[in-house]
Amino acid sequence: MVENSTQDLLYTIVDEAPELASASFLPIIRKFVSSAGITVGTPDISLAARIISAFPESLTDEQRQSNDLAALGELVKTPAANVIKLPNISASVPQLVAAVEELQAQGYALPDYPEEPQTDAEKDVRARYDAIKGSAVNPVLREGNSDRRAARAVKNYAQKNPHSMGAWDASSQTKVSSMPGNDFYANEVSATITAAQAGVAKIEFVGKDGAVTVLKGAWPLDEGTVADATFMSARALSAFLAEAIEDTKKDGTMFSLHMKATMMKVSDPIIFGHAVKAWLAPVFEQFGDKLDALGVNPNSGMGDLLDRVKDDAEIMAAIEAVTADRPAMYMVDSDKGITNLHVPSDVIIDASMPAVIRAGGKGWDGAGKKGDTNCVIPDRCYSTVYDETINFFKANGALDVTTAGAVANVGLMAQKAEEYGSHPTTFEAPADGTIRIVLANGETLHSHDVEGGDIWRSCTVKKAPIENWIQLAMDRQRLTGSEAIFWLDANRAHDAQLIAYVKPALESAGVADKFQIMAPREATAQSLKTITAGNDSIAITGNVLRDYLTDLFPILELGTSAKMLSIVKLMQGGGLFETGAGGSAPKHVQQLVEENHLRWDSMGEFCALGESLNFLADAQGNAKAGVLGNAAEVATQGILDHNRSPSRKVGEPDNRDSHYWFARYWAEALAAQSDDADLAAEFAGVAKALADGEEAILAELAAVQGQPVDLGGYYHTDAAKTAKVMRPSATLNAIID
Ligand SMILES: NC(=O)C1=CN([C@@H]2O[C@H](COP(=O)(O)OP(=O)(O)OC[C@H]3O[C@@H](n4cnc5c(N)ncnc54)[C@H](OP(=O)(O)O)[C@@H]3O)[C@@H](O)[C@H]2O)C=CC1
Ligand SMILES: O=C(O)CCC(=O)C(=O)O
Ligand SMILES: [Mg+2]
């Protein structure tokens, strides 16, 4: 990516819906910013590109691609970084395998994903694929803490144009179920590394026979790092899941499981696998050996399992019998029979729980019927947030969007903070024994007795990111004057260590009276009360709650997290501007392919673009960039004022129409400003052409909808075919190109 790193602005190439949107929007951006001499690079961090770049030796010269993610990971550690980052796929194993198969079918001689690697060569292939799996991009790029909030204009728009919300009533049977104990919450221990303890540590497993296996060596722990260890008992988890299924049946509700198998790529697929086994327990008991022989891995989900056993009538009959006896199950797509347990990447807690809550506590069952659901979230570290939210709405009714205030977030995220950085230090205990952290000085920091199958993990967060996060919180509070709450639980080992950083920092800055420290449950209740009264709150949280709350509150307040401003102030001075707080919306691609309508809302891209251009103006003293940035903000406002966001339904304006309008408002704002006469003169012509072409352009965009389209791939689409689909207006293209 030598070439990208010298560009003024980097706009990432990703996957699925946001990438389709880029096919239409990027040419517009390029045209506008080139007038200010701003160059745009496009580092490719898509799942397909990351796979391709990992196996150069298997590919032809033409097929090979550079490792743009690694280069970008270096760039974000420099003040020069100015990156607009769109959401990308964090792949589960079934998605990774599907992407590899698609590339193979396109002629890429990639190795298969080895399910059970035996030889050294297979182990090497597996290690390369494992590095691509799960949340492999965001932790690399997020070299700063997170500032996510709704721009004022976006919030005003939502209050004036409330989205639909399901009603909540006190008789709702929807609830959250979590383990009573022996989970990550119960077993957590934590310490802050002292100077005497700093150095290269290791994680060891000690068997009952005293034999020591190093699970992770060469593990540097710096002074000031908060280092935790905890585990979830596999036995307790299985018992809990079996009970939760029975309990759901008694309630007459539907069973749903909410977790983050993508970001927590080691622990959560295992937990997910336990749920698959619990659901089909009698089948696993009776046919365990056969299932093994067929290569069934419950962690990959029911979809993979069914695919492997479909020709075995006996097993299929047993599955049918168990299913008939189970409660209803929460569906991802009831029309297609895709259940909650189909693949670990379909139900992702940050998006899935808010969707249930926004709908008034409702999910959809296999018959396509709406109903109450038992939301199973095994671990208690954060489940209390959802439990409290549900209790609040049962007691108070749904949020009134027209008057509600906003919850912004300041999230501790930098340098692979906390749980989301823990996959290299998460292990399934190989047998009964002890797992311990041994420090450079020989001291044992933490030690747990475990049983085979228990999920043990260590999470760390470094000192500089913690201090930067507290500073960012103080800045945001000072700028807004809002209520500000550190969501930290004094009774949780990790949080207690953070509180030991937070309290003295606030006191020495003389602002302790401006902040509160509350456990997640209490903070949830307090924040909901605050926004219900029409006031704002800042949630200052760790990395997991950053993720969860920046979907939960925006989805309740704005109807979607796609409209969020999502700024990562890089610790070395650069800027990373994420677009919205949501994901890559696979359902939107499906709709485009079936009926050529893309309902993806680019509001996140619009907001990020304005921020990035204004950042560039400051960083490079490029006044023209500032003029473009201010005009982009006016255009964003125009989209809101004139209701130009995409509609959900085929035949109505979609994502492409919104890009036309954005270009038009952007050009008009540039023509109208008086800070830069050259830009005003140039864009007066563009604005006129766009206005004159309005009727033709909108007609050309509307004409293509309603028919299926071919993108030449899913994970690795054909660029020419995609451009053809996403840029169907010859009149618009003639103005832009
Ligand atoms: N920053 C990142 O890189 C992130 C990546 N991801 C990845 O994205 C994928 C999908 O994740 P998932 O949990 O399904 O979450 P998504 O946020 O992609 O989808 C959930 C739903 O939110 C709505 N939505 C999200 N974004 C938009 C948008 N811009 N415009 C309109 N509606 C939107 C859609 O609702 P509806 O269908 O009702 O229209 C969508 O189905 C996964 O691979 C995940 O790992 C997830 C989060 C962040
Ligand atoms: O990295 C991921 O897998 C998802 C990121 C995410 O959900 C978020 O940052 O909000
Ligand atoms: Mg998220």
Q: Which residues pair with residue 411 across a beta bridge?
A: 146, 541
Residues 299 and 286: their CA atoms lie apart, in Å, by 19
Ligand 3 centroid–CA 136 distance in Å is 14
**Tens-digit pLDDT profile for residues 709-721:** 999 999 999 999 9
C-beta separation of 283 from 249 below 8 A: no
Please say if the pLDDT value at position 3 is more than 70.
no
Query: How many Cα atoms sit within 13 Å of 298 on the Cβ side?
Result: 17
Per-residue model confidence (pLDDT) at position 614 = 97
Ligand 3 centroid–CA 583 distance in Å is 7
Please say if the pLDDT value at position 2 is more than 90.
no
Local structure of 236: helix, strand or coil: helix
14 is in an annotated binding site: no
Does ligand 1 have an atom closer than 6 angstroms to the CB of 87? yes
**Tens-digit pLDDT profile for residues 202-238:** 999 999 999 999 999 999 999 999 999 999 999 999 9
For 398-519, where are the alpha helices, taking DSSP H only? Answer: 463-480, 493-508
Does ligand 1 have an atom closer than 6 angstroms to the CB of 649? no
Residues 254 and 370: their CA atoms lie apart, in Å, by 10
Ligand 2 centroid–CA 28 distance in Å is 27
Does ligand 1 have an atom closer than 6 angstroms to the CB of 566? no
Please report, for the chain, the start and end positions of each structural domain, with discontinuous segments joined by +. 2-143+572-736, 148-165+401-416+462-570, 175-183+234-396, 185-232+423-457
In the numeric block, which tokens belong to residue 81?
């970084």
Show the CA angle centred on residue 82, arms to residues 79 and 87, nearest 5°: 130
Per-residue model confidence (pLDDT) at position 174 = 98
- Protein residue with its CA nearest to atom 46 in ligand 1: 583
| Unique residue bearing structure tokens 């696998």 | 273
Q: Which residue has the higher pLDDT, 5 or 479?
A: 479
90 is in an annotated binding site: yes
**ipTM above threshold 0.90:** yes
Closest-approaching ligand to the CA atom of 351: 1
Residues 687 and 681: their CA atoms lie apart, in Å, by 10
139 is in an annotated binding site: yes
**Tens-digit pLDDT profile for residues 543-576:** 999 999 999 999 999 999 999 999 999 999 999 9
Residues 6+ apart with CB under 8 A from 224: 192, 193, 462, 463, 466
Please say if the pLDDT value at position 422 is more than 70.
yes
Mean pLDDT value across residues 724-734: 98
C-beta separation of 496 from 503 below 8 A: no
Atom of ligand 1 nearest to the CA of 18: 29
- CATH number for the region 148-165+401-416+462-570 comes to 3.40.718.10
For 421-492, where are the alpha helices, taking DSSP H only? Answer: 463-480
Per-residue model confidence (pLDDT) at position 475 = 98
- Protein residue with its CA nearest to atom 10 in ligand 2: 547
SS3 of 96-113: the string is HHHHHHHHHHCCCCCCCC
Show the CA angle centred on residue 454, arms to residues 276 and 521, nearest 5°: 80
Percentage above 70 pLDDT, the chain: 100
Does ligand 1 have an atom closer than 6 angstroms to the CB of 529? no
Confidence of residue 4 (pLDDT cuts 50, 70, 90): confident
469 is in an annotated binding site: no
Please say if the pLDDT value at position 242 is more than 50.
yes
In the numeric block, which tokens belong to residue 658?
């919104």
**Tens-digit pLDDT profile for residues 424-464:** 999 999 999 999 999 999 999 999 999 999 999 999 999 99
Average predicted confidence (pLDDT) for the chain: 97
C-beta separation of 71 from 659 below 8 A: no
In the numeric block, which tokens belong to residue 230?
């905890």
**Tens-digit pLDDT profile for residues 497-543:** 999 999 999 999 999 999 999 999 999 999 999 999 999 999 999 99
Ligand 1 centroid–CA 707 distance in Å is 24
Q: 512: which DSSP letter?
A: G
Query: How many Cα atoms sit within 13 Å of 80 on the Cβ side?
Result: 10
Within 10 angstroms of residue 94's Cβ, the number of other Cβ atoms is 19
Closest-approaching ligand to the CA atom of 85: 1
Ligand 3 centroid–CA 158 distance in Å is 20
Mean pLDDT value across residues 338-353: 96
Per-residue model confidence (pLDDT) at position 715 = 98
152 is in an annotated binding site: no
Per-residue model confidence (pLDDT) at position 6 = 84
Does ligand 2 have an atom closer than 6 angstroms to the CB of 581? yes
- Protein residue with its CA nearest to atom 6 in ligand 2: 547
Q: 644: which DSSP letter?
A: -
Confidence of residue 407 (pLDDT cuts 50, 70, 90): very high
Residues 246 and 327: their CA atoms lie apart, in Å, by 8
Residues 6+ apart with CB under 8 A from 375: 174, 175, 176, 177, 256, 258, 353, 356, 386, 390
Please say if the pLDDT value at position 124 is more than 70.
yes
Nearest to 303 by CA among 272, 260, 263, 264: 272
SS3 of 544-583: the string is HHHHHHHHHHHHHHHCCCCCCEEEEEECCCCEEEEECCCC
Percentage above 90 pLDDT, the chain: 98
**Tens-digit pLDDT profile for residues 611-631:** 999 999 999 999 999 999 999
Q: Which amino acid is at 660?
A: Y
Atom of ligand 2 nearest to the CA of 350: 7
Atom of ligand 1 nearest to the CA of 91: 43
Q: Strand runs (DSSP E) across 209-334, as ranges? A: 212-221, 226-232, 254-257, 328-329, 331-333
Q: Which residues of 591-607 are buried (b: 16+ CB within 10 A; e: fewer)?
A: bbbebbbbbbbbbbbbb
Please say if the pLDDT value at position 1 is more than 70.
no
Nearest to 146 by CA among 85, 79, 68, 225: 85
Residues 262 and 136: their CA atoms lie apart, in Å, by 9
Closest-approaching ligand to the CA atom of 562: 1
Confidence of residue 301 (pLDDT cuts 50, 70, 90): very high
Does ligand 1 have an atom closer than 6 angstroms to the CB of 92? no
Does ligand 1 have an atom closer than 6 angstroms to the CB of 554? no
C-beta separation of 537 from 522 below 8 A: no
Please say if the pLDDT value at position 403 is more than 70.
yes
Closest-approaching ligand to the CA atom of 352: 1
